Amino acid sequence: MKVRSITLHRVGMPLVRPFETSFGRESARDVLLVHLETDTGDGWGECVAGSTPGYSSEYVDGCAHVIEHHLAPRLFAADDVVASELGHLFSGVVGHRMAKAALEAAVLDAELRASGVSFARYLGAVRSEVDCGVSVGISTSIDELLDEVQGYVDAGYLRIKLKIKPGWDLEPVRRVRELIGADAALQVDANTAYVRGDIPHLKQLDASNLLLIEQPFDEEDIASHIALAGAIETPVCLDESLVSVGVTIDAIERGATSVVNIKPGRVGGYLPAVAIHDACVERGVPVWCGGMLETGIGRSMNVALAALPGFTLPGDTSASDRYYREDLTEPFVLSNGRLAVPTGPGSGVTVRTDLVRELALMPPRVVT
Ligand code: OSB
Ligand code: MG
Protein backbone atom coordinates (compact mmCIF):
# COMPACT_ATOMS: atom_id res chain seq x y z
CA MET A 1 0.00 0.00 0.00
CA LYS A 2 1.30 3.44 -0.92
CA VAL A 3 0.16 6.37 1.23
CA ARG A 4 -0.78 9.41 -0.87
CA SER A 5 -2.00 11.92 1.69
CA ILE A 6 -2.76 12.26 5.37
CA THR A 7 -5.43 14.72 6.48
CA LEU A 8 -5.54 15.79 10.12
CA HIS A 9 -9.00 16.83 11.37
CA ARG A 10 -9.70 18.49 14.71
CA VAL A 11 -13.21 17.98 15.98
CA GLY A 12 -14.84 19.45 19.10
CA MET A 13 -17.09 16.82 20.61
CA PRO A 14 -19.31 18.10 23.46
CA LEU A 15 -19.78 15.43 26.15
CA VAL A 16 -23.33 14.70 27.32
CA ARG A 17 -22.09 15.45 30.84
CA PRO A 18 -18.75 16.75 32.12
CA PHE A 19 -16.25 14.01 32.95
CA GLU A 20 -14.20 14.65 36.10
CA THR A 21 -11.18 12.62 37.15
CA SER A 22 -8.42 13.16 39.69
CA PHE A 23 -6.52 15.09 36.97
CA GLY A 24 -9.27 17.42 35.83
CA ARG A 25 -12.73 18.04 34.45
CA GLU A 26 -13.62 18.11 30.75
CA SER A 27 -16.92 19.00 29.13
CA ALA A 28 -15.81 18.44 25.53
CA ARG A 29 -13.17 16.37 23.78
CA ASP A 30 -10.78 17.93 21.29
CA VAL A 31 -10.43 14.96 18.96
CA LEU A 32 -7.64 14.55 16.42
CA LEU A 33 -8.65 12.33 13.50
CA VAL A 34 -6.28 10.94 10.91
CA HIS A 35 -7.66 10.33 7.42
CA LEU A 36 -5.34 8.40 5.15
CA GLU A 37 -5.64 8.17 1.38
CA THR A 38 -3.77 5.33 -0.26
CA ASP A 39 -3.54 3.70 -3.67
CA THR A 40 -6.00 1.01 -2.48
CA GLY A 41 -8.53 3.16 -0.63
CA ASP A 42 -8.76 5.17 2.56
CA GLY A 43 -8.75 4.67 6.30
CA TRP A 44 -9.49 6.59 9.49
CA GLY A 45 -7.82 6.63 12.89
CA GLU A 46 -8.58 8.48 16.12
CA CYS A 47 -5.98 9.89 18.49
CA VAL A 48 -6.79 9.51 22.20
CA ALA A 49 -4.56 12.33 23.47
CA GLY A 50 -6.16 15.03 25.59
CA SER A 51 -6.01 18.75 24.82
CA THR A 52 -3.31 19.38 27.48
CA PRO A 53 -0.45 17.25 28.84
CA GLY A 54 -2.36 16.92 32.14
CA TYR A 55 -2.99 13.18 31.91
CA SER A 56 -0.20 11.96 29.67
CA SER A 57 2.90 13.70 28.34
CA GLU A 58 1.18 13.48 24.96
CA TYR A 59 -1.48 16.01 23.95
CA VAL A 60 -3.36 16.83 20.78
CA ASP A 61 -1.18 19.62 19.35
CA GLY A 62 1.94 17.59 20.12
CA CYS A 63 0.51 14.51 18.42
CA ALA A 64 -0.47 16.51 15.33
CA HIS A 65 3.07 17.90 15.18
CA VAL A 66 4.74 14.51 15.58
CA ILE A 67 2.46 12.97 12.97
CA GLU A 68 3.05 15.75 10.44
CA HIS A 69 6.79 16.20 10.92
CA HIS A 70 8.11 12.83 12.08
CA LEU A 71 5.73 9.96 11.36
CA ALA A 72 4.05 10.98 8.10
CA PRO A 73 7.41 11.44 6.27
CA ARG A 74 8.29 7.85 7.19
CA LEU A 75 4.99 6.63 5.75
CA PHE A 76 5.40 8.64 2.53
CA ALA A 77 8.96 7.37 2.11
CA ALA A 78 7.93 3.71 2.30
CA ASP A 79 7.15 1.98 -1.01
CA ASP A 80 4.91 -0.55 0.64
CA VAL A 81 3.23 0.39 3.91
CA VAL A 82 2.06 -2.63 5.90
CA ALA A 83 0.45 -2.22 9.34
CA SER A 84 2.41 -5.12 10.81
CA GLU A 85 5.69 -3.33 9.97
CA LEU A 86 4.86 0.09 11.41
CA GLY A 87 6.71 -0.76 14.63
CA HIS A 88 9.93 -0.88 12.58
CA LEU A 89 9.01 2.06 10.35
CA PHE A 90 8.37 4.29 13.39
CA SER A 91 11.23 2.95 15.52
CA GLY A 92 13.33 6.07 14.88
CA VAL A 93 10.77 8.10 16.84
CA VAL A 94 10.97 7.48 20.59
CA GLY A 95 7.70 7.30 22.53
CA HIS A 96 4.75 9.30 21.15
CA ARG A 97 2.63 6.19 21.32
CA MET A 98 -0.72 7.95 21.05
CA ALA A 99 0.39 9.61 17.82
CA LYS A 100 1.72 6.30 16.46
CA ALA A 101 -1.48 4.49 17.48
CA ALA A 102 -3.66 6.98 15.59
CA LEU A 103 -1.68 6.41 12.40
CA GLU A 104 -1.56 2.65 12.93
CA ALA A 105 -5.36 2.61 13.24
CA ALA A 106 -5.74 4.51 9.96
CA VAL A 107 -3.25 2.23 8.17
CA LEU A 108 -5.00 -0.87 9.52
CA ASP A 109 -8.39 0.50 8.52
CA ALA A 110 -7.22 1.21 4.97
CA GLU A 111 -5.43 -2.13 4.65
CA LEU A 112 -8.34 -4.19 6.00
CA ARG A 113 -10.97 -2.33 3.96
CA ALA A 114 -8.94 -3.06 0.84
CA SER A 115 -8.77 -6.76 1.67
CA GLY A 116 -12.37 -7.02 2.94
CA VAL A 117 -11.36 -8.17 6.42
CA SER A 118 -12.81 -6.81 9.68
CA PHE A 119 -10.69 -5.52 12.57
CA ALA A 120 -12.22 -8.26 14.72
CA ARG A 121 -11.17 -11.07 12.40
CA TYR A 122 -7.71 -9.62 11.83
CA LEU A 123 -7.02 -9.13 15.55
CA GLY A 124 -8.29 -12.61 16.49
CA ALA A 125 -11.72 -11.94 17.99
CA VAL A 126 -13.69 -14.91 19.29
CA ARG A 127 -16.94 -13.13 20.29
CA SER A 128 -19.62 -11.30 18.33
CA GLU A 129 -20.51 -8.99 21.22
CA VAL A 130 -18.63 -7.68 24.24
CA ASP A 131 -19.59 -7.07 27.88
CA CYS A 132 -19.60 -3.39 28.73
CA GLY A 133 -18.87 -1.40 31.83
CA VAL A 134 -19.05 2.32 32.37
CA SER A 135 -16.55 4.74 33.87
CA VAL A 136 -18.26 7.21 36.20
CA GLY A 137 -16.59 10.56 36.90
CA ILE A 138 -16.21 12.36 40.21
CA SER A 139 -19.49 14.10 41.10
CA THR A 140 -20.31 17.27 42.95
CA SER A 141 -22.31 15.33 45.56
CA ILE A 142 -22.94 11.73 46.58
CA ASP A 143 -26.64 12.07 45.70
CA GLU A 144 -25.73 13.17 42.20
CA LEU A 145 -23.29 10.24 41.90
CA LEU A 146 -25.95 7.76 43.03
CA ASP A 147 -28.40 9.16 40.46
CA GLU A 148 -25.85 8.81 37.71
CA VAL A 149 -24.90 5.27 38.71
CA GLN A 150 -28.58 4.25 38.94
CA GLY A 151 -29.06 5.50 35.38
CA TYR A 152 -26.24 3.31 34.13
CA VAL A 153 -27.51 0.29 36.07
CA ASP A 154 -30.95 0.85 34.51
CA ALA A 155 -29.33 1.11 31.06
CA GLY A 156 -27.88 -2.38 31.63
CA TYR A 157 -24.15 -1.77 32.16
CA LEU A 158 -22.54 -4.91 33.56
CA ARG A 159 -19.88 -3.18 35.64
CA ILE A 160 -19.47 0.21 37.29
CA LYS A 161 -16.10 1.94 37.60
CA LEU A 162 -15.85 4.93 39.92
CA LYS A 163 -13.19 7.59 39.59
CA ILE A 164 -11.66 8.28 43.00
CA LYS A 165 -9.20 10.78 44.50
CA PRO A 166 -8.20 11.76 48.04
CA GLY A 167 -11.37 13.15 49.63
CA TRP A 168 -13.63 11.27 47.19
CA ASP A 169 -13.11 7.60 47.87
CA LEU A 170 -14.30 5.47 50.83
CA GLU A 171 -17.70 7.09 51.32
CA PRO A 172 -18.85 7.39 47.68
CA VAL A 173 -17.62 3.84 47.02
CA ARG A 174 -19.44 2.49 50.08
CA ARG A 175 -22.67 4.28 49.10
CA VAL A 176 -22.53 3.01 45.51
CA ARG A 177 -21.91 -0.53 46.76
CA GLU A 178 -24.97 -0.16 48.99
CA LEU A 179 -27.02 1.10 46.02
CA ILE A 180 -26.09 -1.58 43.49
CA GLY A 181 -25.97 -4.56 45.85
CA ALA A 182 -23.28 -6.93 47.08
CA ASP A 183 -23.01 -8.95 43.86
CA ALA A 184 -22.77 -6.15 41.29
CA ALA A 185 -19.36 -5.67 39.66
CA LEU A 186 -17.69 -2.52 40.99
CA GLN A 187 -14.16 -1.18 40.57
CA VAL A 188 -12.30 2.10 41.13
CA ASP A 189 -9.74 4.16 39.20
CA ALA A 190 -7.50 6.75 40.91
CA ASN A 191 -5.51 7.95 37.87
CA THR A 192 -2.32 8.27 39.98
CA ALA A 193 -3.89 10.51 42.68
CA TYR A 194 -2.39 8.77 45.74
CA VAL A 195 1.06 8.30 47.31
CA ARG A 196 2.59 5.30 49.02
CA GLY A 197 1.73 6.67 52.49
CA ASP A 198 -1.97 6.27 51.56
CA ILE A 199 -1.74 2.47 51.56
CA PRO A 200 -3.41 2.04 55.00
CA HIS A 201 -6.23 4.34 53.83
CA LEU A 202 -6.67 2.50 50.49
CA LYS A 203 -6.77 -0.79 52.37
CA GLN A 204 -10.15 0.28 53.75
CA LEU A 205 -11.55 -0.12 50.22
CA ASP A 206 -11.36 -3.89 50.80
CA ALA A 207 -14.64 -3.55 52.76
CA SER A 208 -16.44 -2.61 49.51
CA ASN A 209 -15.48 -5.86 47.76
CA LEU A 210 -14.12 -4.34 44.55
CA LEU A 211 -13.11 -6.14 41.36
CA LEU A 212 -9.93 -4.08 41.29
CA ILE A 213 -8.25 -0.78 42.06
CA GLU A 214 -6.73 0.90 39.03
CA GLN A 215 -3.50 2.93 39.02
CA PRO A 216 -3.47 4.58 42.47
CA PHE A 217 0.14 5.82 42.18
CA ASP A 218 2.36 7.66 39.72
CA GLU A 219 2.87 5.93 36.39
CA GLU A 220 6.60 5.49 37.00
CA ASP A 221 6.13 4.20 40.56
CA ILE A 222 5.91 0.44 40.11
CA ALA A 223 7.39 -0.12 43.60
CA SER A 224 4.43 1.48 45.43
CA HIS A 225 2.00 -0.66 43.45
CA ILE A 226 3.93 -3.76 44.53
CA ALA A 227 3.73 -2.56 48.14
CA LEU A 228 -0.03 -1.96 47.83
CA ALA A 229 -0.64 -5.35 46.20
CA GLY A 230 1.07 -6.97 49.19
CA ALA A 231 -1.10 -5.06 51.66
CA ILE A 232 -4.59 -5.09 50.11
CA GLU A 233 -7.05 -7.87 49.21
CA THR A 234 -8.47 -5.92 46.25
CA PRO A 235 -6.55 -6.78 43.05
CA VAL A 236 -4.30 -4.00 41.77
CA CYS A 237 -4.62 -3.12 38.04
CA LEU A 238 -2.22 -0.83 36.19
CA ASP A 239 -3.24 1.50 33.37
CA GLU A 240 -0.95 4.53 32.86
CA SER A 241 2.21 2.57 33.82
CA LEU A 242 1.80 -0.12 31.15
CA VAL A 243 3.18 1.47 28.00
CA SER A 244 4.61 -1.63 26.31
CA VAL A 245 4.60 -5.42 26.37
CA GLY A 246 7.98 -5.42 28.15
CA VAL A 247 6.83 -3.11 30.94
CA THR A 248 3.64 -5.16 31.30
CA ILE A 249 5.45 -8.47 31.66
CA ASP A 250 7.85 -6.89 34.16
CA ALA A 251 4.97 -5.41 36.22
CA ILE A 252 3.18 -8.77 36.27
CA GLU A 253 6.29 -10.71 37.25
CA ARG A 254 7.10 -8.26 40.04
CA GLY A 255 3.57 -8.47 41.44
CA ALA A 256 2.58 -4.88 40.70
CA THR A 257 -0.52 -5.79 38.67
CA SER A 258 -2.70 -8.91 38.69
CA VAL A 259 -5.21 -7.55 36.15
CA VAL A 260 -4.31 -5.48 33.08
CA ASN A 261 -6.10 -2.54 31.45
CA ILE A 262 -5.27 -2.47 27.73
CA LYS A 263 -5.63 0.79 25.82
CA PRO A 264 -4.28 0.78 22.27
CA GLY A 265 -3.52 4.52 22.39
CA ARG A 266 -1.34 4.11 25.47
CA VAL A 267 0.77 1.30 24.00
CA GLY A 268 1.27 2.53 20.42
CA GLY A 269 -1.53 0.75 18.62
CA TYR A 270 -3.74 -2.29 18.18
CA LEU A 271 -0.89 -4.65 17.29
CA PRO A 272 1.10 -3.84 20.46
CA ALA A 273 -2.22 -4.17 22.34
CA VAL A 274 -2.67 -7.68 20.95
CA ALA A 275 0.91 -8.53 21.97
CA ILE A 276 0.11 -7.43 25.55
CA HIS A 277 -3.10 -9.45 25.46
CA ASP A 278 -1.14 -12.53 24.37
CA ALA A 279 1.51 -12.06 27.07
CA CYS A 280 -1.23 -11.75 29.71
CA VAL A 281 -3.09 -14.83 28.48
CA GLU A 282 0.16 -16.79 28.60
CA ARG A 283 0.58 -15.75 32.25
CA GLY A 284 -3.05 -16.29 33.28
CA VAL A 285 -3.62 -12.56 33.85
CA PRO A 286 -7.13 -11.30 32.98
CA VAL A 287 -7.34 -8.19 30.78
CA TRP A 288 -10.01 -5.64 29.94
CA CYS A 289 -10.27 -2.90 27.36
CA GLY A 290 -9.84 0.63 28.66
CA GLY A 291 -11.29 3.70 27.02
CA MET A 292 -10.38 7.33 26.40
CA LEU A 293 -13.85 8.72 25.64
CA GLU A 294 -13.42 7.69 22.01
CA THR A 295 -15.86 8.56 19.28
CA GLY A 296 -17.35 5.75 17.21
CA ILE A 297 -14.12 5.58 15.19
CA GLY A 298 -11.90 4.50 18.08
CA ARG A 299 -14.78 2.69 19.76
CA SER A 300 -15.37 0.40 16.77
CA MET A 301 -11.77 -0.79 16.96
CA ASN A 302 -11.76 -1.08 20.78
CA VAL A 303 -14.87 -3.23 20.63
CA ALA A 304 -13.15 -5.53 18.12
CA LEU A 305 -10.12 -5.78 20.41
CA ALA A 306 -12.31 -6.50 23.44
CA ALA A 307 -13.66 -9.55 21.59
CA LEU A 308 -10.30 -11.37 21.92
CA PRO A 309 -10.32 -14.38 24.27
CA GLY A 310 -8.27 -12.87 27.12
CA PHE A 311 -10.68 -9.96 27.62
CA THR A 312 -12.63 -11.70 30.38
CA LEU A 313 -13.71 -8.55 32.28
CA PRO A 314 -16.17 -5.90 31.02
CA GLY A 315 -14.38 -2.96 29.38
CA ASP A 316 -14.75 0.82 29.37
CA THR A 317 -16.40 0.32 26.01
CA SER A 318 -19.64 2.14 26.67
CA ALA A 319 -22.41 3.04 24.24
CA SER A 320 -22.19 6.22 22.15
CA ASP A 321 -24.93 7.93 24.19
CA ARG A 322 -22.87 7.69 27.38
CA TYR A 323 -20.47 10.18 25.78
CA TYR A 324 -22.01 12.06 22.86
CA ARG A 325 -25.44 13.15 21.70
CA GLU A 326 -24.28 12.58 18.13
CA ASP A 327 -21.40 10.26 17.36
CA LEU A 328 -19.03 10.55 14.39
CA THR A 329 -20.22 7.14 13.14
CA GLU A 330 -23.45 5.19 13.39
CA PRO A 331 -24.10 4.99 17.14
CA PHE A 332 -23.01 2.04 19.30
CA VAL A 333 -26.11 0.96 21.21
CA LEU A 334 -26.12 -1.14 24.38
CA SER A 335 -28.15 -4.34 24.26
CA ASN A 336 -28.31 -6.48 27.42
CA GLY A 337 -25.16 -4.72 28.63
CA ARG A 338 -23.25 -5.56 25.47
CA LEU A 339 -22.11 -3.92 22.25
CA ALA A 340 -22.07 -5.78 18.96
CA VAL A 341 -18.65 -6.23 17.36
CA PRO A 342 -18.64 -4.64 13.88
CA THR A 343 -18.31 -7.18 11.09
CA GLY A 344 -17.72 -5.03 8.00
CA PRO A 345 -14.31 -4.49 6.38
CA GLY A 346 -11.83 -2.44 8.41
CA SER A 347 -13.42 -0.70 11.38
CA GLY A 348 -16.82 -1.63 9.94
CA VAL A 349 -18.23 1.83 10.63
CA THR A 350 -18.78 4.82 8.34
CA VAL A 351 -17.36 8.17 9.31
CA ARG A 352 -19.94 10.97 9.13
CA THR A 353 -17.76 13.41 7.24
CA ASP A 354 -20.58 15.99 7.31
CA LEU A 355 -20.39 16.02 11.12
CA VAL A 356 -16.58 16.05 11.08
CA ARG A 357 -16.83 19.23 8.98
CA GLU A 358 -19.62 20.74 11.07
CA LEU A 359 -17.78 20.22 14.39
CA ALA A 360 -14.34 21.17 13.05
CA LEU A 361 -12.29 23.32 15.44
CA MET A 362 -9.94 24.41 12.66
CA PRO A 363 -9.52 23.77 8.94
CA PRO A 364 -8.29 20.27 8.10
CA ARG A 365 -4.54 20.03 7.55
CA VAL A 366 -3.46 18.04 4.53
CA VAL A 367 -0.01 16.47 4.73
CA THR A 368 1.48 15.06 1.54
O1 OSB B 1 -8.04 6.12 33.24
O2 OSB B 1 -9.36 4.99 32.07
C3 OSB B 1 -8.87 6.07 32.36
C4 OSB B 1 -10.65 8.76 30.32
C5 OSB B 1 -9.62 9.62 30.04
C6 OSB B 1 -8.38 9.35 30.56
C7 OSB B 1 -8.17 8.21 31.34
C8 OSB B 1 -9.20 7.34 31.61
C9 OSB B 1 -10.48 7.64 31.11
C10 OSB B 1 -11.66 6.83 31.40
C11 OSB B 1 -12.75 6.85 30.37
O12 OSB B 1 -11.82 6.23 32.43
C13 OSB B 1 -13.27 5.52 30.03
C14 OSB B 1 -14.18 5.58 28.83
O15 OSB B 1 -13.71 5.84 27.70
O16 OSB B 1 -15.38 5.37 29.00
MG1 MG C 1 -7.56 4.28 34.07
Choice from 16, 292, 339 to test ligand 1 binding pocket (greatest atom count within 8 A of CB): 292
| Distance, first Cα to last Cα, the chain | 15
Question: Is residue 100 annotated as a catalytic residue, yes or no?
Answer: no
User: Considering only CA atoms, which residue is closest to atom 14 of ligand 1?
Assistant: 291
Q: What is the pLDDT of residue 185?
A: 98
| Span from the CA of 198 to the centroid of ligand 2 (angstroms) | 18
Q: Under a CB-based contact definition with an 8 Å cutoff, are residues 67 and 34 in contact?
A: yes
CATH 3.30.390.10 assigned to domain 3-116+353-363? The reply is yes
291 lines ligand 1 (CB under 6 A): yes
Q: Is the ipTM of this complex over 0.90?
A: yes
Among candidate residues 77, 80, 65, 75, the one with its CA nearest the CA of residue 103: 75
Atom of ligand 1 nearest to the CA of 261: 2
The whole-number mean pLDDT for each consecutive block of 10 residues of the chain, a chain of 368 residues, reads 97 97 95 97 98 96 98 96 97 97 98 98 98 98 98 98 98 98 98 98 98 98 98 98 98 98 98 98 98 98 98 98 98 98 98 98 96
Which of 100, 161, 163, 165 is labelled catalytic? 163
Identify the nearest ligand to the CA of 56 by its number: 1
Instruction: Say which CATH topology domain 121-340 has.
Output: TIM Barrel (3.20.20)
Q: What is the DSSP string of 83-137?
A: GGGHHHHTTTS-S-HHHHHHHHHHHHHHHHHHHT-BHHHHHT---SEEEBEEEE-
| Interatomic CA distance for residues 252 and 164, integer angstroms | 24
Indicate the domain borders of the chain. Answer: 3-116+353-363, 121-340
189 lines ligand 1 (CB under 6 A): yes
Residue 144 CB partners (closer than 8 Å, separation 6+): none
Question: Is residue 165 annotated as a catalytic residue, yes or no?
Answer: no
Choice from 21, 59, 217, 321 to test ligand 1 binding pocket (greatest atom count within 8 A of CB): 21
This prediction has a pTM of 0.97
